[in-house]
Every structure is written in structure tokens, then in C-alpha cells.
Chains A and B, each alone.
Chain A
Amino acid sequence: MLEHATLYYKTLFCPANNNVLPLEQSFWDEVTSLSPEDNELLCKPFSEGEIKEALFQMEKNKAAGPDGIPIEFFQTCWEIVKKDIIEMFDDFHKGKLDVSRINYGIITLLTKTMDADRMQQFRPICLLNCLYKWITRVLTIRMAPYAEKLICQEQTAFMKGRNIMTGVMALHEVMHETKRKRKSGLILKLDFEKAYDKVDWVFLLNSVRQRGFDEKWCEWIKQVISGGTVSVKLNNQIGPYFVSHKGVRQGDPLSPILFNFVADCLTRMIKQAQRNGLITGLASNLIDKGVAVLQYADDTIICLENNMEGARNMKLLLYIYKIMSGLKINFSKSEIVMINGDADQENQFSDLFNCQVGKFPIRYLGVPVSPSKLHLVDWAPLIEKNNKKLDNWKGSSMSIAGRATLINSSLSSTFIYHMSMYLLPKTILNTLDRQRSFFWQGGGSRKKYHLVKWESLCKSKRKGGLGLKDIRKMNVSLLSKWWWRLEKEDGIWQRIIRAKYIKGELVSKVKSR
């Protein structure tokens, strides 16, 4: 088993074929890049405060890396070790530190599905040394504010001030608008194969360098990402160490940002193609050229007008992107759906992309999205998920206190995510409440008395309740946040909504949602 796993990851991290097709510098001309002042700030020596901040940001109670030193050690002994640590950072700053000596990790395999029997069904989480993570964390903190500036708004992951739901909202509005205007459109949901592990380093470094990051900074990133060694751990046995040649680590704080830079290239390429009229996005009546691409890390949605030519261009573009970045699209797992299209066309497109035909509602980031109103059936998985949890708990006899804790921590939180996007239908809310009456029922199937009114249970503890959440009110409060965001922030969905409903009026005058 261990041999097999090691071999699998060895081949996965093997050197990339050297067919690097670089993006030309001219591609980045119109893009805002970093100014010399920014670079000066990025490359200044590491201060003690900065190092300390990074240390105390790191989460406690995590599995330690292969050297066995947990983060708590550094946190409690900060005063004692700080001199040595600062010295180490100084060395790193001067480029004297051999990062590869602390950059080794153990890949731990976590199952993605219940009964995983193939290597693909495991998630390789890399346990790294704290020292290494510390260095990358410091780099991350420095880089984050610039990443916000440099990465397109289409990308909604891992950055301050960007919310996962804004992508879903934009997609929803685009689809709704297309349907409303009786236009025909194509939605392509892409699935990248082992996205993090396949990123090509040369491409990654190029895409960072071409944004105008200083040579010194690029050198640091190169040191941090390359030259790492890993080994696979299985059944408490550690396999032989080998050198990885591509990919960013899962479990390294810097990875999400670096990956965003890579993914951003795709967005920019698509936008460039859009500008040159090679492809057209949807909802072009609302915002200039329409929306063609939405991303959350590697979850990518592509919206195209019903146009064979555009679709062919898109396919070529994705192919080129694959050659450049090493990110392969798993077309068999991707989905294609058409709005207002006929089955014939749908088949043509699915043949072109060689992927399945999906149907509405599609699940984007775990939320069902559809151009029309969602039906009760679409919420069934949500109920089902809770039911499954309940079944597990029913077997074990718990005290009333145990049940209260479980309901508060687990049952009430599963649908918060969905409620921050949609106003759930009354029937669903009632069902969810009925599930929560597990509080009284406990394990047995026998009906038991509900001793206290449900409403009083939902009061907060200060008001004499048990602090369960009133889901209806929770739903409403979560949704009012959208109004706030609409007024305070700017992004793609805000632009769509403004063009669609508000039309220059004041927020307080607008009527619908």
C-alpha cells in the first residue's frame, strides 16, 4: 500500500514536460502592476512585530510537522527563542538560509468519500514544519494586500473583503437575466484535476514576476515552493522521502494566494479574449461585454453566448492554459448546461467539450443555482444531510444537555451557509424545526412530551431560553447583509444588480429583491 501511494505521488509530482509556453509580457501591459514603492515595502527586512504577528495568527492545536514541534511551543517560548528566530529570518532575507532543509513534509491521506478505494479519492494534506509555515505565513501577510489589488474581481476566494457567496450571487443574477431576456446561453462548470498539486512552478513564478514583483521577492517564493521533499505516511509508516517538482502544498498558508495568481491568469486570458471579441459573455446588456468567467479558487464557471465559434475559441483557450500552467481540466467531471437552448445544440456543445450535460439547478460551491425559482425538491439534500446526522445520534443515548449542544453546534449550522444566499421556503424551515425537536424526542421512536414551548427554547440565554437559533429570523438577518454589501462594496454582482434593478436610483427607493 505504502509503496503504491508513494509511487502515485512520485509520478504526480514528477517534473513537468518542458513545453512551457510563456505569456508574453505585453499581455500584462494594461494590468495594474506593482510600483517600486510597493516593492520596497515588500522587500524590507522582517521586523520583530511582523514575525510575532504571524506566529500568533497561526492556529493552535494542529498536527505537528515531521520535526514534531507544535506551534504552541513557539508561542509559549516566544521570549526565549525570539533572538534565534529573528536571526533566521534575517538569513532568509539575505538569501543565506537553505530553506529546503526545513522544507520537508509528510503527506497524510484523508478520504474524500466514505469508501475510497482509489488513490484519486484521497486528499493529500501535507504536514509541514512549523518553522517553514512560519516563514510562508510572514510572506503571506506581506503579500495579501497586494494580491487584493492585483487579482481580478472574478476570483472570490481567500482574500479579505471577498465573499464566497458573491460569486454565487453573480452567477444567479447572470442566469436569471439571460432567462428573463429570453437569450440563449451556455454555462460550463469546470473541474480541475488535482489543481493544487499540478501547478507548474515556472508558470507560477512567471505569473508572479510579470505582475511587477521584485526579483528578490520572486527568489524568495522560488526558494519556498521549490526544493521541498515529501514522503507519504500511511498506517503510521513513513515512506521514503522524494523531491517534488511541481504543485503548491496543501497546508501551506502561502498556497492559496499563489494559486490565485495562477488561476487569475485564466481569468485574464478569458477577459482578453472577450475584449478582442473572440468570445462573448452573458448578461452583456447589463455590464460591458458581459460576464464570462467566475472563480472560487479552482472552481470555475464559464458563461458563453450560444455560439459555436465562441465555444471553439474557449476550448482552445482552455487547452493553451493547460499547456502553460499544467492545470488539466477534467472534462468528464465538468458539466455543461444551456439556458433556453434545445437538446440538439446542447449535445453539440457537450460533444465539443467532451463533457456531460448537466441540468438545473447546478451546484456551484455547494449551493444550488438555477435561472428559475428553486423548488422544494432542490432543498431535499439539505434535509437529507441533517437526517443522516440524526440517524447517527439516535442510536446513542444522550442526555438532554448533549442533545442541546449537538443541535446548537451541528444541526443549526448546516443550513446557515445556504440561508446566507436564499430565503428558504416555509416548508423547509418547518421541516428543519421538526428535525430539531430531536431535543425532546431523543433516541427512541416513542413520542415524548415537549415540556417547554419551542419559542422559549429559541430565546437567548440572557432572556431565559436555551439559545437555540430562530432560523426564520436568522435567515432574514443573513440576507439583509446583501443590502449592506450592495450599498457599501463594489464587485461584479453589485454592478449587475445596479444595472438590472436600481438604475441609478437610491437604495432606499428600490423596491424589489
Chain B
Amino acid sequence: MKIRHIYLAGRKIKVGDGSITLFWLDCWINDKPLHLLYPTLFELCEIKLITVKKFLEVGGNISFRRCLPPFLQEQWAEVIRSILPPPRSMSLDTVSWKWSTTGAFTVKSTYDRLTVNNTGESFSRIWKAKLPYKIKIFLWLVENGAILTKDNMVKRGWQGDPSCRFCENIETIQHLFFECSLARVVWSIVAIPLKANNIPTSLRQYWN
């Protein structure tokens, strides 16, 4: 069931004679099927599975269960307008895939589409940097705030003193890498051969 829905959602039809295209349910004029764009009209229409071919044959006069109130009539007129000029060709309808650039089905495009809701910041700077892969992953963990610094350990139920080994502050990622006095000393040593004149205060500074 579910797979079919996904397939139908990604399928787009270029209407020829309209014999295999369903007027309401298939994607053919817009990227969305009409029944999603105009749910009330779809609810009221009598033949829900009408094909485009049939629709053209009856000249667009399809019957509704009751008289349309003015605002729905306005919507219906809008639908008719979006269809104009009506497709008139003898060739067959052709099915294509709207999520890939070529119009042919690819598993990758489908997978990308299904994971489209994943949002998150891209750390492309990390992945593009010329570093060993394990350092990259370490940096990625830093960005995710997932290094086992003492404050993180405490969150996970570690019983111990969360303060930094070198000073009294709490050991957080930010503290350990940038704010601790020892870290600042290290940074300033690094700065000498690089001839840099300021000390970084966050990783972000480097990326931006």
C-alpha cells in the first residue's frame, strides 16, 4: 500500500489522449494532483475516477452532487483555466518521474525525496577539508556537541567532578578547546608559525 502511494506521488503524466490519466488523482497539470489542490471540489464531484479523456469527451461538464456555491464555482473556473488549452493529441500518455532530472525513475531520487524532511546544517567545510577522515569525524562530533567532555559525562550519569583539570571552570567543549587558559596558550603557540594575530574563540570562526 505504502509503496504504491510513494510511487504515485512521484509519477507525473504528460497527457497525450488522456486515456490513462485520472483527472483528479494523477499528477498531470501541476506537480500535485487536483484532489489535493481542491479537496472540496473533489469531495463533491460524482465520478472520482474519471479519466482526462472522458473529461474532455463530456466537454468538461462533470456533475457535482449539489449546486456549487459561488466560492467553489470560482475555484472550479480556476481549475478549468489551468487546464486550458485542453490537450488534444492522439499520442499515448507518457509517464515520467518528477523527482529525477531526466524523468526516468531512479532509486536514488526516491530515497533523496523520502529523506527530504531531514534538516540540518551542512558541515561541508569539514568534509572538504584536507584532513584524515578520523579527524573529520572528530570535528563532526565536536560540531554535534558529542565529545565526552566532563559535563557531557555528568549528563550521562557519570559521578565525578565536572570541573576542568586545569582551572575551576566546568569542562564543556567550548571551554576545553577555546576558553581554558591552557587552550589559549596552545593556540597562541600555534599562532606564532602561522603569523596569526588573534586567537580563535570558536570552531565556527574558522568555517565562516
Contacts and interface: CB of A to CB of B under 8 A. Distances in A.
B3 A461 contact: no
A232 B122 CA distance: 54
Interface of B: 1-4, 6-8, 10-11, 20, 22, 25-26, 49, 51, 95, 97, 105, 107-108, 110-112, 114-115, 118-124, 127, 132-134, 136-138, 140-141, 143-144, 146-148, 156
Contacts of B122: 461-464
Given A402-B134, A449-B156, A465-B118, A480 B6 contact: yes
A462 B108 CA distance: 15
Given A400-B134, A451-B146, A506-B20, A513 B118 contact: no
A483 B8 CA distance: 9
A459 B120 contact: yes
7 contacts: A401-B136, A452-B144, A456-B144, A458-B115, A460-B115, A484-B97, A508-B11
A401 B137 CA distance: 6
Interface in A449-474: 449, 451-452, 455-456, 458-466, 469-470, 473-474
Contact of B22 (A451, A484, A506): A506
B143 to A, nearest CB: 8
Contacts of A462: 122, 124
B123 A464 contact: yes
Nearest to A398: B134
Interface of A: 399-402, 404-405, 423, 449, 451-452, 455-456, 458-466, 469-470, 473-474, 476-484, 487-488, 506-513
A interface secondary structure, majority: helix
B176 to A, nearest CB: 15
A513 B25 CA distance: 19
Among all A-B residue pairs, the 5 with the closest Cβ atoms: A464-B120, A401-B134, A477-B110, A451-B146, A401-B133
B114 A466 contact: no
Contact of A481 (B1, B107, B138): B107
Contacts of A449: 148, 156
Contacts of B133: 401, 404-405
A507 to B, nearest CB: 8
Nearest to B25: A508
A399 B137 CA distance: 10
A477 B146 contact: no
Given A455-B118, A480-B3, 14 more contacts: A404-B137, A451-B144, A452-B144, A452-B146, A462-B122, A464-B144, A474-B111, A476-B3, A477-B107, A479-B3, A482-B3, A484-B97, A487-B95, A508-B20
Contact of B140 (A458, A466, A506, A513): A466
Given A480-B7, A483-B7, A508-B26, A452 B111 contact: no
